[in-house]
Structure 1
Amino acid sequence: MRPVDFPAPSTRASLAALQLAQAYYSPAMLNHVQRSWLWAEGFAEIEGRGDHDRELVYVVAMLHDIGLAKAFDNATLSYEEAGGHVAVALTTGAGWPAARRQRVLNVIIEHNWDSVDPAFDEEGYLLEAATGLDISGKRASNLPAEFIDDVLSAYPRGTLRSEFGDSVADQSKRKPATSAHRLIVNGLIGHLAHHLLEMWGE
């Protein structure tokens, strides 16, 4: 299993999501969302979830943290809900039907849940598993070490630890009723500082 086994979908929505990500994320955050896509596809591969909606997973992977970007920082909504609405707007422009646009919003919101049951939402599970690995180190042992090597080589973590931690801490202070505060209280900064992938290959 290699990253090249999971090419990005070449659809209108996927291309637009990538372009938006390239325009508004820092290099470290852009690498984070690219890794999230590959982790999600990796989990789907090893768990036999080949019938998942790959286009939807790609779009939500690219945009799940767009609410942390200053241009999309909402005064009251959690960053994942704000980002979900950005994804709704994008997929509306791409011609997605209303029910599928709602799925995009739901899946992005769910990525900050403690866990998502795949029987409840398979795409939500894949995004939560992928971001859980990239931010908290969860389920790293479930993926082949060679695959992790290749993904980190293609998309290095760079300054993700400080950028993501600072952004979520800022959201937590300004919006204490949102999931950002829960993430900080539950030890996000420590998880990032002692992340397995930060020391991978040493």
Structure 2
Amino acid sequence: MRLQDLTPPTTPAARAALDLATACHTPALLHHVVRSWLWAEAFALVEDRRGVDHELLWTAAVLHDIGLVAAYDNVTLSYEEAGGQVAVALTAGAGWAAERRQRALDVVVRHNWPSVDPGLDVEGHLLEVATGLDISGSRPEALPADFVREVLVAHPRLKLAEEFGAAVTDQAERKPTTAARRLVDGGLLDKLAHHPFER
């Protein structure tokens, strides 16, 4: 498995999602969302997942934290729900059918579930395990070590621990009934500080 073997889709929705993420995210958060897509595609290979909608997976991965950005932060919705609604709007503009736009929302929302059954949502499962790896350090040995090193060189973590920790803590304080509160109460800041990829 090599980084060069994983090529992002070049559809209008895929390009627009990356353009939006690039315009809105800090470098650390932008590297995080791209790494999350890379880990998700790698898990698809390692777990031999079939029938993956790669355009959907890319679009959801690149937009999954856009709800943390001030311009898209919603006063009541969780950040993953707010980000999913951005994905719905963007994919509507790209001509996706209503059912597929709903899938974009589902995948973004489910990335914050404690786990996602791949039989229910294979793209949601892949993004959940990918973000679990990148944020919480879950299953750090699951992917080939050479591939992990290659990804981290191309997409370094920078100040991800500090920036993501602060953003989700803020969400947890303002929206205590959302997944952000569960993440913070579950030791998010400690997991970020002691992440195996931070060494």
Give me the TM-score of the superposition, normalised by structure 2. 0.99
Give the superposition deviation at 1:48.
1.2
Moved over 3 A (4+): none
Aligned amino acid, residue 190 of structure 1 = D
Residue 51 of structure 1, CA deviation: 2.5
Report whether the alignment pairs 1:178 with 2:171. Answer: no
What SS class does the counterpart of residue 142 from structure 1 fall into?
coil
Unaligned stretches of 5+ in structure 1?
none
1:147 is aligned to 2:150: no
**1:140 CA displacement:** 1.4
Extract unaligned runs of 5+ from structure 2.
none
Letter of the 1:76 partner, please give it.
T
Q: Residues of 2 paired with 1:152 and 1:10: CA distance?
A: 23
Per-residue deviation, 1:50: 4.2
2:125 is equivalent to residue 125 of structure 1:
yes
d(CA) in 2 for partners of 1:63 and 1:156? 19
Q: How many residues align?
A: 199
Counterpart CA distance in 2 for 1:157 and 1:60 is 20
Task: State the alpha-carbon separation in 2 of the partners of residues 198 and 59 from structure 1.
Answer: 26
How many Å separate the matches in 2 of 1:88 and 1:3? 29
Report the equivalent of 1:28.
28
Further displaced range: 50-59 or 145-154: 50-59
**Residues in 1 aligned to 2:178 and 2:185: alpha-carbon distance in whole angstroms:** 12
Residues 140-180 of structure 1: CA deviation (Å, up to 9, x unaligned): 11100000000000000000000000000001111111111
2:88 corresponds to: 88
CA drift at 1:4: 1.0
User: 1 CA distance for matches of 2:176 and 2:149?
Assistant: 37
* Paired position in structure 2 for 1:113: 113
How far did 1:120 drift? 1.1
Give the corresponding residue for 2:8. 8
SS at structure 2 position matched to 1:141: coil
Output one character per residue of 1:97-139: Cα deviation in whole Å (capped at 9) or x when no partner.
Answer: 0000001101111000111111111000000011000000112
1:10-44: CA deviations, max 9, x gaps? 10000000000000000000000010010000001
Question: Which residue does the alignment assign to 1:158?
Answer: 158
Deviation at 1:3, TM superposition (A): 1.2
1:192 aligns with 2:199: no
- Look up the match of 2:169: 169
Amino acid at match of 1:182: R
What TM-score results when the alignment is normalised by the length of structure 1? 0.97
SS in structure 2 at match of 1:140: coil
Partner Cα distance (2:186, 2:137) in 1: 14
Sequence identity (%): 60
Tell me whether 41-50 or 106-115 shows the greater mean CA deviation: 41-50
Give the CA deviation at 1:46: 1.3
Q: 2: distance between equivalents of 1:106 and 1:18?
A: 19
Q: What code does the residue aligned with 1:103 have? A: R
Code of the aligned partner of 2:101 = R
